[in-house]
Amino acid sequence: MSEHHKIAVLGGGSWATAIVKMLIENTETVGWYMRSAPAIAYIKENHHNPKYLRSAELDPKHLDLSNDINYMITNYSVLIFAIPSAFLTSELDKLNESLENKTIFSAIKGIVPETGLIVGEHFHKKYNIPLENIGVITGPCHAEEVAMERLSYLTIACQDENKAKIMADSLNSWYINTKISDDIIGTEYAAVLKNIYAIAAGIAHGLGYGDNFQAVLISNAIREMKRFIKKVHKMKRNINDSAYLGDLLVTGYSTFSRNRQFGNMIGKGYTVKSAQLEMSMIAEGYYATKSAFNIKEEKGTKTPIIDAVYNVLYAERDPKKEFKKLTNKLD
């Protein structure tokens, strides 16, 4: 990695930790910003994150750790944001340094609640970052499996093919396969929507629906995703690629999926608030549901699954009744 392409990861959670682990395989020094000074001291001494993905070995010799976000912006040209979308605005409010001429990659898989924009669009519209300097890291890749070095697949999307390739090469290893795409809008919306569908799958499971219904739900979800993304950003894409369908499947079915866990708790009778309090990690799909519902209202897309999840989470409708109605809208 040349001086020109120095990479920093911003965020201290499980996905940020997994990305740092991937980058260490290929990069001499990885910048890593997290808010917690005690966590930084712990990583330097014990070689793993104290709170998230504790099994991932992290060699401090390859890490430039700091709890000063402006230090990272000054010293690194490629910035991977892996901060939960709910906290992104408050973190960006700390910036004194300009993001001009920086390459921004979003690994957030969420919608910024304050603006209702996907992360790439947020940086483009609020910080005037050119679209060719914005990328997305997505695909069926759970942080927990990266920690275990189980074979995983990532799609790196950027309009600038060279930037996508540099990032793909930086993340690629014997247990990470990477491919590149130019569909930054579609892949990021897919990454956001699959979290909503995972909540739906979790609610269904919590309510006692079986594997047969789950299969029908996910089959309908990929078609709903295709309709939604086509309305938002029309271009040639194969919705069955791993960045779209693959990510949906792993998030909808895996026990590692926090969005599915969140939905499962709602289905079992937890209130939204109590489910959020019990989970130690952010379920991005909660915030995404409201924004996706507003977008579909504006664009006029048929989205029965998003509607059902929205009604349960935000209109406080009874999950059992709402999903009974949903069963009649699926095929």
SS3 at position 7? strand
* Listed residue (137, 143, 142, 140) closest to 53, CA to CA: 143
Say which residue the tokens 């912006």 belong to.
Answer: 73
What DSSP assignment string belongs to 107-121? ---SEETTTTEEHHH
- 273 an active-site residue? no
Q: How far apart are CA 233 and CA 111, in angstroms?
A: 16
Tell me the HSE value of 189 on the side-chain side, using a 13 A CA sphere.
26
Exposed / middle / buried, residue 174 (Cβ in 10 Å: 0-12, 13-18, 19+): exposed
228, 141 contact by CB (below 8 A): no
Give kind and range of the element (H or E) at residue 202. Answer: helix 184-207
* Listed residue (100, 81, 97, 76) closest to 27, CA to CA: 76
121, 51 contact by CB (below 8 A): no
Q: How far apart are CA 59 and CA 145, in angstroms?
A: 19
Choice among 194, 230, 290, 325 that is catalytic: 194
Give helix 304-313 / helix 184-207 axis angle, nearest 10°: 60
228, 193 contact by CB (below 8 A): yes
Q: How far apart are CA 7 and CA 23, in angstroms?
A: 9
Amino acid at 240: N
Tell me the catalytic residues.
Answer: 194
